[in-house]
Amino acid sequence: MKKIPNSLFVKLLLSFWICSSLIIATVGILPLLQQNHDSGVPIPPPLHHILVSVANRIIDNPELLASQQAWQGLYRFRDPQGKPVRLFIINEHGKLLNNARNSKMLRRFVLMADNSNRPIKYQFEDELMFGPYQFNVGGEQYSLYGHAPDHRPRPWFFFFTENKLLTLSLAILLSGLLCGLLAWNLGKPLRSLKSSADALAKGDLGSRVNIKTTLRQDEFGQLAKAFNGMADAVEDMVKTQQRLISDISHELRTPLTRLQLSLALSRKKGQETQEIIRIGYEAELLEKMIAELLELSRLKLNTQDKKVQLELAETLSQVLDDADFEAGQQHKQLNIEISESITLPVYPKPLSRAVENLLRNAIRYANDSITICAKQHNHHVDIEIFDDGPGISNENDLEAIFKPFYRPQSARERETGGWGLGLAITYAGIKAHEGRIKAENIKPHGLKVTISLPQQSQSSFFTR
């Protein structure tokens, strides 16, 4: 036997087909149920016996056909539930003999019985009609019908056939619920894929689609496996690259140490020339660059400890003291507006280094004053650093300045002589806290950098 392909196309086709078929069948079967009910059912023997008994009396006493008073004695019959039975006799010309008024219900039942061509019973809202039983008296044919009160509930489908607008609304609602359930079931693996893709895009290299989705035997399962394979490759590639940078930085320190040792020996021997001084200066810069590369690698290689719940002011106290002293040496003013009541989970060293790099840049380029303030709102803490310097002339550089080794073509960067790692370390440190960082120019001049940190520990960027 050939196996049905377990594909998304087949699932969608069968699901929508079955859903629409159920709705059509449910709505379409109501008229059939009503038609079957309207055709009536055979008369039960007790009711049939009543008709036969009354007909035999009339056959034996034809004068009953002309005497209304004689009919009163025939009303003593009761149905199996003990309810009184009322009888109607109609001649072959359709005239009701024992009642002056031919009710609408009786006329409707007579037509139904004629169409059935057999004795039947039919339940109206609160009444039961049955008959006819036909007999002959004096060469003329008569039809006998019975009526009894019946308080049993009508069949359920009558409610829907009599309320067509409500039935249509329920059908639309039911189809919406079924299609919504189907859409939710089909969208569940897509939501899992989207969540994993978003986490991977934000830097969570360990994000994977859950096992339940990968075990599916359709295109969703294939896509989940392909995504996890891609994520594994990306994680290995990124970590290999970061380890390579870290290893190279470590290896560079060995010849650099020898070079600095040789320079120290040369100075001891009195061989300090302009060239030696220049080599020493460049060696110091190279040492600083290697140190920053190693720090950047440590941040991106998940070498941080667990977060600690600390006061923000306490965490940054040493950094703020150093920045205040440095600003004072340059005849600039540092304004600090950080409440001691602000607490949040942090990696103390990376956060301190991130804020320190931003403050040093702000002090370097500020004309007169620098401000750092912290605000709490919506379960986040925003740290804002302002300076009244020239800002960054090219708006496109406001995001790119946080990339490693990026050098914007602006006066702000050319004067530093740096190599573009300080802000990259800042960015990595903020990302380690699951935070965001943004730079923007302020009017009339100056730069504002905003750091947004979550005040509640979430699934850590580096811990899984």
- The rounded distance, in Å, linking the Cα atoms of 120 and 130 is 6
- The rounded distance, in Å, linking the Cα atoms of 17 and 11 is 10
Q: Which of 250, 331, 377, 379 is catalytic?
A: 250
Question: Tokens in use for 377?
Answer: 């709102």
Question: Tokens in use for 244?
Answer: 């390579």
**Radius of gyration for the chain, computed over Cα atoms and rounded to the nearest angstrom:** 47
Residue 256 backbone dihedrals phi, psi, to 5 degrees: -65, -40
User: DSSP letters along 350-392, please?
Assistant: HHHHHHHHHHHHHHHH-SSEEEEEEEEETTEEEEEEEE-S---
Question: In degrees to the nearest 10, what's the CA dihedral of 12, 16, 18, 21?
Answer: -160
- Report whether 315 contacts 347 (CB < 8 A): no
Angle of helix 422-432 relative to helix 348-365, nearest 10 degrees? Answer: 140
**Beta-strand pair 86-91/140-149:** antiparallel
| Whether residue 250 lies in the annotated active site | yes
- The rounded distance, in Å, linking the Cα atoms of 299 and 350 is 8
Residue 452, Ramachandran bin (φ over 0: left; ψ between -120 and 50: alpha; else beta): beta
User: DSSP letters along 109-152, please?
Assistant: HHHHHHHHTS-EEEE-SSEEEEEEEEEEETTEEEEEEEEEE--S
- In single-letter form, the type of residue at position 57 comes to R
In this structure, the number of other CB atoms found within 10 A of the CB of residue 275 comes to 9
Closest to 214 in 3D by CA, of 230, 202, 237, 198? 230
- Report whether 283 contacts 260 (CB < 8 A): yes
Distances (CA, A) of 180 to 134, 169, 173, 177, 188: 58, 16, 10, 5, 12
Cβ-based neighbours of 175, under 8 Å, separated by 6 or more: 19, 20, 23
- The rounded distance, in Å, linking the Cα atoms of 428 and 354 is 8
Distances (CA, A) of 172 to 19, 122, 140, 179: 12, 32, 56, 10
Active site residues: 250
